[in-house]
Amino acid sequence: MILLLLIPLLVPFVLGPLARRCLGRLTPVAALWSVTLALVVLAAASVASLGALVLTGLLKLPLLAGLGDLVHPLRTASDLVVLPAAAAATGALTLGTWTAVRSALRQLRAFRSARSQADRRPAAGDLCVIESPHPDAYALPGRPHRIVVTTAMLRSLGADEREALFAHERAHNAGGHHRFLVVAELAAHCHPGLRTVRATVALAAERAADEAAAVAVGDRRLIARAIARAALATGDARSDRPDFAPAATTGPVPQRVAALLSAPQHRPRAAAWIALLLAACAAVSAGASGAGVVAFHHEVEVAQGEEAR
């Protein structure tokens, strides 16, 4: 049982390198969906395994064993293995919950501030212009969706580049990319091995918006030029927008520009292998977690005298 519960805690360390390869071999939209789905499965499996380990350790304590109506000792591996594992799992769940709540509150405050600022400004369709000396532009989710751009960013771009930038941000809103970013942020607090995948999901969302904007505008070079000039204008300035509000200047811009300027490459065999490996990671993690939780439940029923050994 303990071994089964440990497997979902090891598999997430494999997802980071695999997700980066996935982005290079699948289309951006396919990579975004595939990596995010695998991320959700691995995060859920790791939390379930941590929870089962915590309960296993707690039921080893006489007081809690009595409260759990255990009439026999809970049959597990040696206490020298179970108790340290349960203590580590308790610490991991506590830390993950604390950082997730803190991040959620910070992001909620940033979103409310950005939304309030946008709603106070007159909008031209979905476009909201904010007077600011700091160049910035991003897609703001909500009802209705907004494209927020500062006056400094508008002054930094030519007319055609502005339209290209707006097309990019509209692609974010149309694709609901903020949902993927929220999921990636939450998953990053479930397991340390999933933190690096958060950046891959963000890059996949940007690449998906790049490609959608290139189709809408009909000029890949124009999109690349607009993104590059917007990134140069933004520089290292820190934006007050929430992290789940995607922006064209996010991520490794040179890599995205290079992808736009090169011809799209389709390698169906490599894509199939990467998708298969992602599915295998998710299946192994979910299967081991599910089997471990079922085994734990069975041992509890045996300890309660409901089933024979």
Q: What is the pLDDT of residues 150-167, one digit of tens each?
A: 999 999 999 999 999 999
Predicted pLDDT at 309: 47
Give the residue-averaged pLDDT of 214-224. Answer: 93
Q: Which of 52-61, 124-133, 281-290 has the lowest mean pLDDT?
A: 52-61
**Which residues pair with residue 148 across a beta bridge?**
128, 138
> Backbone phi, then psi, for 171, in 5-degree steps?
-65, -35
Specify whether the CB–CB gap between 198 and 188 falls below 8 A: yes
Confidence of residue 242 (pLDDT cuts 50, 70, 90): confident
Which is it for the CA torsion 160, 163, 169, 173, positive or negative?
negative
Q: Does residue 56 register a pLDDT over 60?
A: yes
pLDDT at residue 60 tops 80: no
pTM over 0.85: yes
